[in-house]
A and B are shown apart, each in its own frame.
Chain A
Amino acid sequence: MENKHTIQEMKAAHKILKSFDYTPKPVEKGYSGETLYVNLSDNEIKAKQVTTQMKDIFVGGRGFGLWYLWNAVKDTTKWNDPENEIIISPGPIAGITQYPGAGKSLVVSISPTTNSVIDSNVGGYFGPYMKFSGFDAIEIQGKATKDVIIVIDGDNGKVSIEEAPLESVNSHLLCEELTEMYAADEADKLHVATVASGRAAEETLIGCLNFSFYDLRRKSIRLKQAGRGGIGTVLRDKKIKALVVKFSKLTGNANHPANQELLNKTGIKLHKEINKNDDKQCKMRRQGTAHLVEIMGDYDLLPTHNFKFGGLNKPEVKNMASWIWDRKFTQGSVDGCWFGCTMGCAKAVDRFKLKTGPYKGQLVTIDGPEYETVAGVGSCCGIFDPDAVLELNFYCDTYGIDTISFGTLTAFVMECYENKIIDDKITGGLKLNFGNHEAALELIHQMGRGEGFGKIAGMGVRKMKEYFAKNYGADMKFMQDIGMECKGLEYSQYVSKESLAQQGGYALTNKGPQHDEAWLIFMDMVNNHIPTFENKAEALHYFPLFRTWFGLNGTT
């Protein structure tokens, strides 16, 4: 199902609905000083000033997102109301090239799964390029009537809303098409970054955003995900096909930090430490976050069979361990999702031949899998076939759905199926036993097509509980026991019942059980740094604040 149109045909079919000229301001100490507001209901585009007060109180990144969302919505606003916004802000640190991890964007919106505020942290070049193009954030409100793209041309100071009817929707194709369309030649592709989602984001509530960047060595686009909370679903509900930014003047001091000399010195020190120690410590350069699998397994923290078990206690679970991924990943490339991130955890499997779905038989590059994906679509679903995990990872990404929510909700329906809460009649013949990766893949393709049981599963665990109770007479108490969600968000992949600190963190986060602010499990269970109740309580205060600092500033 490759796109039958040429890039020229796609471009020619664009209809410019509105364009806006501006003069990009140079970035000073991490801020361009303006943000971009786009309303798709009336095609308004304007620049807004970043005030000193905004910087002092909200810093940037997630802080700017929360501030703009607060001003945009009412207490009655639902995720699919036109006034809901998607705000993407890279934060003042984002875009620094000397210091690893400094390229993150934060996305904020009202979530379709929690009906509350969600934020998601993501790499890729979009955020930094947007800032260097003149905007500390983009704030998108309203809804288009036909599929549109929003293009920020930072080289020429132009923003446009364009109808884009012919491009693909699924990310691995769409991001490639747009990168080619907006780059003058092969070398210029490095200067184009996009944000997109996919077909399953339209049909489910667990849509993710893919942030693309061009990989010079692989000669293909790479995708990093703002996965949590269904922001991809909001994007497609607004009929946004993609956001595009073009910026070709990146320099080493584009962020104009307060002290470049100190930054150079500190960055070089960290590059040297990573070079010297990473192979002996976290192996992020070889395995990415997948190095965590057997550590979590050893401490009974790796979710297996819908969080029923926690360990690598079965021989086949070893198929999920880091050394498997070490061999699958293409080694020796430069895998940072922003320039200069020598941690390089954005691993990829190249020339993977797909066995199912609309792209069956094609050779593709797959980003990941990261730890959360291995645990989510792998062990949590009782799936221990690495190639099945890769295929599920690929389709989650290109269809635009979150691997964590997909994994946790698939594990939930598998447990429901094994407990006869749902049967073949309800699943349309899908035999959703633990470990049936063929059924899991068919489920994801149904989400991509908006058909069958995939539509029901795509509502997420909380809504499925209500649906199963109402329509199939399922026992709510039992489903509350096995349905791993809190506040409507599916659990990320840690057996938190083992760790009071992690469980506390999951329950206390505003957005639901997502690990970034709650990731105390390593300190608690592996390193035993916080053994007492007092230690854990204290950690539940400082750790979320510490991680929030990352999200405000645009780093990892």
Chain B
Amino acid sequence: MKVSAIGKKNELCSGCHECEKTCAKIYFKTEELERAKLRVIKDDPSNKIITCTQCGVCITVCPTQAITRLKNGIVNIDKNKCIGCLSCIGFCPEEAMFQYKDETLPFKCISCGQCVKKCPTGAIFMVKNDVSVINQ
């Protein structure tokens, strides 16, 4: 199945963090970078961009089946079913599942693409990823 995701070229990233600020603002009404659903971290010589590939490994480890693939292929967390174990964070191969301070509800990228629009260097862009994990 082909799914929309955020693609990346680490070498093009200038480290301006506009993507993270945009994301945090849209979803949490703040510019706090720890609230962003993607991350840019310093990783010499270039920056490292962490984004969700929508691979679905988190679906397979969720004990309450709170994480599912929506019809459009995006991997989504149902906050009413989540019991905050944070297993999904520990098992994400991209380390692209996040959580904030003492909150126990994790959050992740849903490929809305708003960050891509703000990126001044083209370091992030929309792609179509092939995924094998559908739902479990």
Residues of A within 8 A of B (CB): 97-98, 190, 216-217, 250-253, 259-261, 264, 267-268, 270-272, 274-275, 332, 334, 336, 339-340, 342
Alpha-carbon gap, A439 to B83, bound state (A): 46
Given contacts A252-B86, A275-B91, A342-B87, 4 further A-B contacts (CB under 8 A): A250-B83, A261-B102, A271-B90, A275-B90
Contact, CB under 8 Å: B91 / A271: yes
Contact, CB under 8 Å: B63 / A251: no
Contact, CB under 8 Å: B63 / A264: no
Residues of B within 8 A of A253 (CB): 84, 102, 104
Contact, CB under 8 Å: A271 / B104: no
Alpha-carbon gap, A217 to B62, bound state (A): 11
Residues of A within 8 A of B90 (CB): 267-268, 270-272, 274-275, 342
Residues of A within 8 A of B99 (CB): 264, 268
B42 at the interface (CB under 8 A from A): no
- A98-B84 contact given A216-B65, A271-B90, A334-B62, CB 8 Å threshold: yes
B71 at the interface (CB under 8 A from A): no
Contact, CB under 8 Å: A339 / B104: no
Alpha-carbon gap, A123 to B84, bound state (A): 19
Alpha-carbon gap, A336 to B136, bound state (A): 16
State how many angstroms separate the Cβ of A164 from the closest Cβ of chain B: 29
Residues of B within 8 A of A339 (CB): 63-64, 83, 85
Contact, CB under 8 Å: A340 / B65: no
B3 at the interface (CB under 8 A from A): no
- A252-B91 contact given A260-B104, A261-B101, A339-B63, CB 8 Å threshold: no
Residues of A within 8 A of B82 (CB): 252
Contact, CB under 8 Å: A271 / B83: no
12 A-B pairs with CB atoms under 8 Å apart are: A97-B86, A98-B86, A98-B104, A190-B64, A217-B136, A252-B104, A259-B102, A260-B104, A264-B102, A268-B90, A275-B91, A339-B85
State how many angstroms separate the Cβ of A425 from the closest Cβ of chain B: 53
Residues of B within 8 A of A272 (CB): 89-90
State how many angstroms separate the Cβ of B87 from the closest Cβ of chain A: 5
Contact, CB under 8 Å: B86 / A271: yes
Against A, the Cβ 8 Å flags (1 = close, 0 = not) of B96-126 are 0001011111000000000000000000000
Contact, CB under 8 Å: B60 / A251: no
Within 8 A of A (CB), among B73-91: 82-87, 89-91
Determine the interface band of chain B, counting residues with CB < 8 A from chain A: 20 to 34
- A97-B102 contact given A332-B60, A334-B62, A342-B90, CB 8 Å threshold: no
Contact, CB under 8 Å: B86 / A334: no
Contact, CB under 8 Å: A268 / B60: no
B134 at the interface (CB under 8 A from A): no
Residues of A within 8 A of B86 (CB): 97-98, 252, 264, 267-268, 271, 340
Alpha-carbon gap, A217 to B82, bound state (A): 16
B61 at the interface (CB under 8 A from A): yes
State how many angstroms separate the Cβ of B60 from the closest Cβ of chain A: 7
State how many angstroms separate the Cβ of B51 from the closest Cβ of chain A: 18
State how many angstroms separate the Cβ of B32 from the closest Cβ of chain A: 15
Contact, CB under 8 Å: B89 / A268: yes
Residues of A within 8 A of B60 (CB): 332, 334
Residues of A within 8 A of B84 (CB): 97-98, 251-253, 340
Closest to B99 in A: A264
Residues of B within 8 A of A270 (CB): 90
Q: Which one of A98, A216, A270, A272 has the highest number of Cβ atoms from chain B below 10 Å of its Cβ?
A: A98
Residues of A within 8 A of B87 (CB): 271, 340, 342
Contact, CB under 8 Å: A252 / B85: yes
Closest to A334 in B: B63
- A251-B104 contact given A339-B63, A340-B63, CB 8 Å threshold: yes
Residues of B within 8 A of A259 (CB): 102
Residues of A within 8 A of B83 (CB): 97, 250-252, 339-340
Residues of A within 8 A of B64 (CB): 190, 216, 339
Residues of A within 8 A of B89 (CB): 268, 271-272
State how many angstroms separate the Cβ of B85 from the closest Cβ of chain A: 3
Alpha-carbon gap, A98 to B103, bound state (A): 11
Contact, CB under 8 Å: B105 / A252: yes
Closest to A271 in B: B90
Q: Which one of B89, B99, B103, B104 has the highest number of Cβ atoms from chain A below 10 Å of its Cβ?
A: B104
B104: contacting residue among A217, A264, A274, A334, CB under 8 A: A264
Alpha-carbon gap, A274 to B87, bound state (A): 10
Residues of B within 8 A of A271 (CB): 86-87, 89-91
Residues of A within 8 A of B62 (CB): 334
State how many angstroms separate the Cβ of B69 from the closest Cβ of chain A: 15
Contact, CB under 8 Å: B63 / A336: yes
State how many angstroms separate the Cβ of B29 from the closest Cβ of chain A: 21
Residues of B within 8 A of A97 (CB): 83-86, 104
Alpha-carbon gap, A90 to B83, bound state (A): 18
